[in-house]
Structure 1
Amino acid sequence: MSTRFDGRSSAKFAALAFAAFCGIGSAQAADKQFLIGFSQLGFDHPWRVAMNDQIQAEAKKHPELKVVITNGQNDNAKQVADVENLLQQKIDLLIISPNEAAPLTGVVKKVYDAGVPVIVVDRSVLGDAYTMFIGGDNKLIGVKAGEYTAKWCADQKLSPCNVLEITGLSGSPPAQDRSSGFAEGLKKNPAAKVVASPTSEWQKEKAMPAAAAAFQANRNINVVYGHNDDSAAGAYLAAKNAGLDLKKMLFVGIDGLPDPTGAIVSVMQGRQGASFVYPTGGAEAVDWAYKILVKKEKAPKKVTLGTDEINPGNAAEMCKKYGCKSN
C-alpha cells in the first residue's frame, strides 16, 4: 500500500513543518540567556552601591539576563582593564559608568565597534561611539541648587553671601556641569558669591579637611554647596568642629538618597538645608538592555532622568516617595 500526497497535502505539510521549525526557533530564543557586563567605576560610595543594587534588582525580573558587575576602584586604568576583560567574556551588552570621560572613551569605542551595544550611565564619554546614554541633567540640577542658594541668601538678607563650593572629581562631566549650572543659578542674586572651590573628589573624608581649611581662611562663609551630599555632610562636620553657628548656615547637596545617613533623613533632622535627587539610572539601564537584547527595540541616543528638590517643607513626603530605609 502506498501513500499519495497531492499538491494541497504537500503544501499543508510544508506549512506545518515550517510552523514547527519557527516554534523551535522561538523556544531557543526565549531560552537564551544574555550576558550583560556592568563596569562600575567604584563601590566606595552609597550612591554607587544603590546603583549596583538597582541593577541587580531589575535584572532579577528578567531570567533572560545575567549581569556581571566589576569594580573599577575609582581608577581609570583598572576600569579600562575591567572592560577589556568583559569583552573577552563575550558579553552581549555593556553598561558602564565611567570614572572619567577621556580615559574611558577608547575602550568604550572598542566595545561598540565590536558590535556590542553599550549603555553609558551617569557620566558620559567623548564622542558618540555608544548605543545610548542614561543620566540625570547635572547642569539643570546645578542651576536649581544655585537658584535655591540665591533665594536663601536673599531671604536671610545677606550681602555679601559667601558660598563655599566643594567640587567633585574635577575631570568628570558631572562635576563640571554641577559647577557651571550652579554659577548660572547663583546669578539671580548678585550678593551671592563663591569664595572658594576646593575638591573632595566626591568623598566625605576629603571634604572635611577641604572645608576646614576654607573655614580657617574665611569664617564668614554662609553657604556650603557640595557637588554631592557626602561633600555637604563632610563640610557640616568641619563647620561644627570649627565652632561655627550652624543654625545660620545653609548646606546644600546633590543625590538625595533615602538611606539612614542619606540626605532625605539629614534634611528631616535639620543638618542639611536642601538636596536634589540624582537618580542612579541603574534600573533604567537594565530595562533598556532587556528591550535591546530581548525585544529587539531601537534605543534612543539619550534618556534624561528627572529630579526632585528635597527641603524641610517636603522631606517627610520625599521620604515616603523614595522609601527611606532604617538602620
Structure 2
Amino acid sequence: MRKIGSWVMVGLLVLGLLAGCSSKSALEPSDKEQGKDQSMTIGLSISTLNNPFFVTLREGAEKAAKEAGAKLIVTDAQNDTAQQANDVEDLIQKKVDILLINPTDSKAVAAAIESANQADIPVITVDREAEKGKVRSHIASDNVEGGKMAGDLILNKIDGKGKIVELEGIPGTSAARDRGKGFHKAVDNKGGVEVVASQPANFDRAKGLSVMENILQSKKDIQAVFAHNDEMALGALQAIQSAKKDILVVGFDATDDAVKAVEKGNLAATIAQRPVEIGQKAVQIAVKVGKGESVKKFYPVKLEMVTKD
C-alpha cells in the first residue's frame, strides 16, 4: 500500500505541475501576441499630398515604419488648416502612440498640437515648425541656409546686378518664412540688386504660373526668380517660356520634375532637401520617443545645390 501511495503522490505532483503550466499559458499572451501588443502606431499628418515633395516624404516614412515594424497612419490635410485639425483629432481618437505633424500653418497648428499634449501623445514636427504647443523634436532641413544658398547662386549668375522676383510659399509656414529670410540675407543691401516683387504663390505650380504672368506684365527687365519651392519655380518657368523671356529661375526641394528641368538647362538650379531622408528620420525619431529614449530638439537634414554642372 505504501508503494501504491507513493506512486499516487508522484502522479498528483505531475498533474499539479501540468496544471500550473496550463494556467500560465491561458493567463499570459503568447510571444506572437506580446509582439502584437507592443507594436507602435504612428500618426503622420501631412499638409498636402498634391505636392510631389510630400509624396516622397511619405514614402520615406512608410519605408522606415516597415523596417521598424511600426504601423503608420497617414492623413492628407490638402493645405487646409481646419482639415488638419480634424485629421489630428481623428488620430488622437485612434490612440496613436506618436504624432508626426507637417503643419499647413505654423501658427494655426498650435491648437491641434495642444490637443495631442492633453492626450499625452508626443508630437514631432516635420519639415515645418509650429509656433506653439509642446513638441519633442523637429526634423527638417535648414531652410534659412537653403534660401541663402539660392540667393548667393543668383548673385553669382547675374554678376551682382539686376532685378529679382521672389515667389513666396504659403504665408504663415515656417518654410516660407525661413527660406525668404535666408534669401534676403544674401541679396539685401547689395548695391546692384533690387528685389522688384515678393508675392505668395502658395507652393503651387498653377499659382506660380499665374502670379509670374502678372509680374511679367507689370515689371520689365527681370534677370532672375527665386521660388520657395520647385512647384512654383516650374510654374514661373512656364510663364517665362510662354512670354519668350530669358530669365534665370532657382527652385527649392529637388523634386523629380525640377531635377529634369535642371538637366535640360531650363531651370538654373534647385536646392535638394532630401524628403525621403526627412520622412525616414521622422519615423526613426518617433520610434525612439515611443521607447522612452531621449532625443534632440532638432535633427537637421543636409542640403545640397543641384545644377546642370
Equivalent residue, structure 1, for 2:114: 109
Q: Provide the C-alpha distance between the structure 2 equivalents of 1:264 and 1:74, rounded to a whole number of angstroms.
A: 24
Mapped contact 1:150–1:187 kept (Cα < 8 A)? no
3-state SS, counterpart of residue 104 of structure 2 = coil
Matched, 1:120 2:125: yes
Q: Which residue pairs with 1:202 in the alignment?
A: 203
Q: CA deviation digits over 1:255-301, x for unaligned, max 9?
A: 012x2x2x22211110100111123311101111222224x321111
> What is the aligned partner in structure 2 of residue 320 from structure 1?
none
Partners of 2:129 and 2:146 lie apart in 1 by 16
- For residues 108 and 128 of structure 1, the distance between their equivalents in structure 2, rounded to whole angstroms, comes to 5
Which amino acid in 2 is paired with 1:287?
Q
Q: CA deviation at 1:216?
A: 0.9
- Counterpart of 1:284 in structure 2 is 281
Query: Structure 1 CA distance, aligned partners of 2:34 and 2:222?
Result: 61
Which of residues 276, 286, 293 in structure 2 aligns to 1:297? 293
Instruction: Kindly state the Cα deviation for residue 254 of structure 1 after the two structures are TM-superposed.
Output: 0.4
Contact 1:150 1:189 in 2 (8 A): no
Alignment check: 8 A CA contact 2:111 2:133 kept: no
Percent pairwise identity: 27
Runs of 4+ deviating beyond 6 Å:
none
Give the match for residue 140 of structure 1: 145
Higher relative contact order (CA 8 A, sep 6+): 2
3-state SS, counterpart of residue 224 of structure 1: strand
Residue equivalent to 1:230: 231
Gaps of 5+ in 2: 1-5, 11-20
- Residues 107 and 132, structure 2, Cα contact 8 Å, conserved in 1: no
SS in 2 for 1:60: helix
What are the Cα deviations for residues 152-205 of structure 1, in whole angstroms up to 9, with x where unaligned? 121xxx64x000111111111111111111011114842121101121100010
- For the pair 1:78 / 2:83, whether they are aligned, the reply is yes
**Amino acid of the structure 1 residue aligned with 2:237:** Y
Structure 1 residue 309 corresponds to structure 2 residue 305:
yes
- Residues of 2 paired with 1:227 and 1:25: CA distance? 52
Q: 1:41 aligns with which of 37, 44, 47?
A: 47
CA distance in 2, matches of 1:216, 1:49: 34
Aligned-residue CA RMSD (Å): 2.1
> Equivalents in 1 of 2:34, 2:122: separation in Å?
18
* SS of match in other structure, 2:201: coil
Structure 1, unmatched stretches of 5+, are 4-16, 314-327
CA distance in structure 2 between the aligned counterparts of 1:81 and 1:231, rounded to whole angstroms: 28
Deviation at 1:150, TM superposition (A): 1.2
Residue 26 of structure 1 and its aligned partner are, at CA, apart by 11
CA contact (8 A) 1:80 1:104 kept: yes
User: Is residue 55 of structure 2 the alignment partner of residue 60 of structure 1?
Assistant: no
Tell which structure's C-alpha radius of gyration is larger: 2
1:212 aligns with 2:213: yes
Q: What is the CA-CA distance between 1:114 and the residue it aligns to?
A: 2.1
TM-score scaled by length of structure 2: 0.86
